[in-house]
Amino acid sequence: MTTTIVLPEMEKAWSPFAAFQQLQKQKAEEAQQQQQSEPSDTSETASEQSIQSSTSRYLPGVASAPHPHMPVPTTVSNMVLPLPVPPPTAAQTIAAPGLVARIPEFAVPLQPKLLKHINTLSTKEELLNWVSQCHFLLDPINLVTCIYRLARMFSCIRSPDARALWRADLMANHTFLLLMRTVQSHLLHAQLMMMHNEEVKGLDARCVSNLIWAIVKLEVATDSNTLGSELVLTASPLVVRFLPNSSCQGLANLLWSYAKMAVPPVEVMMVIVSRMTEMLQDPHAAHSFDAQALSNSVWALAHIRSKEVDLDAAAGKPGCVKMFLQGVANVASMLLRGLDTRMDLSQLQACMMEAEKRFSCQAMVNIVWSFATMLGDECSKHPDFKLFFMQIRREAIIRLHATSSGLQLNHAWIHKLAGGFNEQALSNIVYAFDKADMLDKELLQWVFNVAALRLDRMDRQDDCFRPYEFCFKPQELCTLLRAAHQYIAQPWTFLAKLEKIVHARPHIISGWSTAELTELNRSFTLLRNFTAPLMQQRQQQQQAAAAAAAASLANPAGLLSLDQSTMPLQNIQHLLLQQQRQAAMPMMMPSQQLQNMAGLSGFNNTAMELLLAQEGLQQALAQYQQAQTMSAASNAALLFANLSS
């Protein structure tokens, strides 16, 4: 079957095949003339002279005239490359299986330098322009590297509008379409070699894995009828062929890429899962897995399961998915045991950066999210899975504590994309442990504390964070708001700061859905129901203080006998001592412990104001005490009576 596309802008009267055949013909003639004029010489010197003779028409510094269809090359980045040449037509370049164009012989030793040069190209226009001139010199690996390089460029773009514009421009570029079709022709040729039990040359497991990842990353396989989907399906037989030689990271990337497709090849995915299960159960091969590979692979299965796909039926092996999850849990537990995460404030940044490098918070949260999505509350019933979740919980609390300290101290690492628990990680870990029926007070309280500190960053105007940027997505925020209604922990500080931000900048919720706005309103109602009694108590204390001051001024002698007291003196002394200790507690604590306590013990702004009001009342009463000239017993009785009121 011959696949042909017509690209009018690229039609030229030139063919790389004709040039290559002419080169071969001239090379044969020169070799025949040399054999007739000189005795045969198989030495290294003779071989070098033969190569120099065969390539003298295309290398600089030679006396012979250049070939009429091939310009003299130039030197780019210390490597020999041809000058811009007329690009071939699509019909001439895109051959049928078994008729794939071979690169010129002189370009074979240039492939490593060509690969290095591809990685130096930094823009889409620069790379595609270079490919349009030199694609006939590139072997399959370098052709795939060009697509992989484009995917890397695309992944660095964060703005949705900029990504859409960049992708639309790419899809309209004829050179990119030619590049994709050329790679497809090599894949079809490799399949033909497989059908005849011949060795597949020019492609390997890493190349195929990078190709599929790049196509999915470029978002050109979002529909089953797109060229990207066609190319991915063409490469799938090679994935199975190269499976024994594939690395764990390559297999994980394949699962992730397939899961992102509109119509994923589930059968191929389950073959990969079976292979990864064997590797996870092998003690030697299991050490090659890292946290990112485990996270990507298990997330892919959870994403496919959410589409109501029966994975065990697709694998033809009951219990295949659970065996795979068991292997992931065992290897992840081994990696967690190898961590030595400590809360050392003097070396907090170095410890957290090392922990993030070995087992990132995002990978840790994605794993438990995937387990909870696929298994639900079975995670708390299965002994191995429950033990694994408890390991994650211990490590998560340490990371949450470190993230809280980093936010308060404004460390540089906390402002990076993967710095500690970001907004998405906070939401996902709450969802995972709630889904697994293992959400407890300590974990949720730390999540609320860090979430409140994340909201504080909105009011900061520094280089690390842009002001007035709301980092929480509506879905992430609603997960935390639903957890607040479970009364497991105290979310009052988090809710109070969120209400303040929404009241000051209501535009941040303008795009929310009706369900999300309803959840937000429910949470604010919960906050008002909690703060109403506190406000009433505060008003009563203010009124009592005013009444006590008026009574003291109305009494000329400033006396209150012990008989007029409404409670025994011992009870009054005990009450005063207890309230003095409570009022002095915040002042005795360091500022950092006070902030932590404000987040962990359910203190909110209203509660802190009540403490300050009580402290102000005691100071006022102390001034009255100093102004009086009466005995110590009378002054103490007056102070106790005012406090008790």
What pLDDT, on a 0 to 100 scale, did the predictor assign at position 179?
Answer: 94
State pLDDT tens for residues 42-54: 434 443 343 333 3
Q: Do residues 272 and 293 make contact, with C-beta atoms less than 8 angstroms apart?
A: no
DSSP code for 478? H
State pLDDT tens for residues 194-229: 888 888 888 899 999 999 999 999 999 888 788 899
In the predicted structure, residue 159 carries a pLDDT above the cut 60? yes
- Using alpha carbons only, give the angle 534, 535, 537 rounded to the nearest 5 degrees: 65
* CA distance linking residue 608 with residue 205, whole number of Å: 61
E-strand ranges in 248-316 read none
* CA distance linking residue 387 with residue 380, whole number of Å: 9
In the predicted structure, residue 383 carries a pLDDT above the cut 60? yes
* CA distance linking residue 326 with residue 638, whole number of Å: 70
In which residue are the tokens 């002279």 written?
Answer: 49
The whole-number average pLDDT for the span 492-505 is 91
- What are the phi and psi torsion angles at 567 (to 5°)? -145, 155
* CA distance linking residue 333 with residue 390, whole number of Å: 10
State pLDDT tens for residues 30-78: 777 766 655 444 434 443 343 333 333 333 333 333 343 334 343 334 4
State pLDDT tens for residues 322-352: 999 999 999 999 999 888 766 566 677 777 7
> Is residue 94 packed enough to be buried (19+ CB in 10 Å), middle (13-18) or exposed (0-12)?
buried
In the predicted structure, residue 615 carries a pLDDT above the cut 90? no
Q: Which of the pair, 55 or 242, is modelled with greater confidence?
A: 242
State pLDDT tens for residues 434-445: 999 999 999 999
Looking at mean pLDDT, say which of 74-83, 493-502, 630-639 comes out highest.
493-502
Q: Which of the pair, 488 or 559, is modelled with greater confidence?
A: 488
User: For the stretch 1-20, what's the b/e string if a residue is b when 16 or more beta carbons lie within 10 angstroms of its beta carbon?
Assistant: eeeeeebeebeeeebbeebb
* Contacts of 316 by beta carbon, 8 Å cutoff, 6+ apart: 270
- At residue 319 the predicted structure's pLDDT band, cuts being 50, 70 and 90, is confident
State pLDDT tens for residues 524-555: 999 988 888 877 777 777 778 777 777 766 66
Residue 233: both structure tokens together: 């399906």
What pLDDT, on a 0 to 100 scale, did the predictor assign at position 578?
Answer: 55
CA-CA-CA-CA torsion sign (316, 322, 325, 330): negative
Q: Do residues 258 and 265 make contact, with C-beta atoms less than 8 angstroms apart?
A: yes
Distance (Å) of CA 441 to CA 139, 181, 445, 475, 560: 58, 56, 6, 22, 48
Looking at mean pLDDT, say which of 258-262, 536-540, 559-563 comes out highest.
258-262
What pLDDT, on a 0 to 100 scale, did the predictor assign at position 195?
Answer: 86
The whole-number average pLDDT for the span 295-304 is 93
What's the mean pLDDT when you consider all of the chain? 75
State pLDDT tens for residues 97-121: 444 557 777 778 888 898 899 999 9
Residue 310: both structure tokens together: 């029966």
- At residue 406 the predicted structure's pLDDT band, cuts being 50, 70 and 90, is confident
What pLDDT, on a 0 to 100 scale, did the predictor assign at position 582?
Answer: 53
Give the residue extent of every domain in the chain.
1-41+75-246, 527-594+614-644
Q: Which of the pair, 161 or 354, is modelled with greater confidence?
A: 161
Please count the other Cβ atoms lying within 10 Å of the Cβ belonging to residue 90: 20
The whole-number average pLDDT for the span 238-254 is 92
What pLDDT, on a 0 to 100 scale, did the predictor assign at position 43?
Answer: 39
- At residue 130 the predicted structure's pLDDT band, cuts being 50, 70 and 90, is very high
